[in-house]
Amino acid sequence: VSGLLSLLVGISISRRMSEPLKDLTSGVRAVARGDYAARVPEEGGREIETLIEIDTRRVDIKPDQPALLAAVPEVLRQGRMILPTLMRGFGPYPQGCFGWINRPEDWFERRAAACLYAALVADTALDLIGASERLLVEGRFAEAEVFVRALASLRPDMTVYTANAHNDVSFGALRLIDPTLTPQGHLVRVQPLDADLDTYRNRWQAEVAASAERTAA
């Protein structure tokens, strides 16, 4: 029985590992053939996946961007923020305990706060790896204006760009093989938010530290 169980578990794990690799391989091969419209599946961390689903809609919906940007001043003024982490054991705050501070009722304010949270976590992670000079944001979050512009504000010493294509990771891998390949998209330099995110970040960091102390007590 134990041997059969081990076999079934092994098959299950094998499928979970092999299927995404098959999809990725298929996407990369399509790009290699010149099909730059091909989509390569994105496999992100559970925290970002959960973050996007906070309001059951994604934060990168293009028609919503003006309203999300307009919601930022009120989010900052009221100190509305999310504390990490939505998925314990991962990210720069693996032992954090998720929670809202001054959770807004407004639909757009909640999603704007979610974007600011993602930017704060990304900023922390970039500090941990010593990132400097230039930063490229691609994929889904490249179209989330609050996120990318907040990140540009939080990291004034870095130049932040977004890519308008959705196959940049696979294309970058292909260029390691063939440097003569010409990118089909272009980079856009991100303009920082016109807002005081330093104060917001300082308060967020203080709240994160206080939450960690309460958890440890």
Which is higher by pLDDT, 8 or 24?
24
Give the Cβ contact number of residue 189 at 10 Å.
Answer: 10
Averaged pLDDT, 147-171: 85
Percent of the chain predicted with pLDDT > 70: 66
3-state secondary structure of 99: strand
> The sheet that has 134-137: what strands, in order across it?
134-137, 159-163, 187-189
Q: Which of 40-44, 57-61, 69-73, 116-120 has the lowest mean pLDDT?
A: 40-44
Q: Measured between alpha carbons, how far is 13 from 76 in angstroms, rounded to an integer?
A: 44
* pLDDT at residue number 17: 40
pTM given for the model: 0.71
- Per-residue confidence (pLDDT) for residue 16, from 0 to 100: 43
Domains of the chain: 1-41 (no CATH), 47-216 (3.30.420.40)
pLDDT single digits (tens) 86-123:
777 778 888 888 889 999 999 899 889 989 999 999 99
What mean pLDDT, rounded, does the chain reach?
77
Cis peptide before 199 (omega within 30 of 0): no
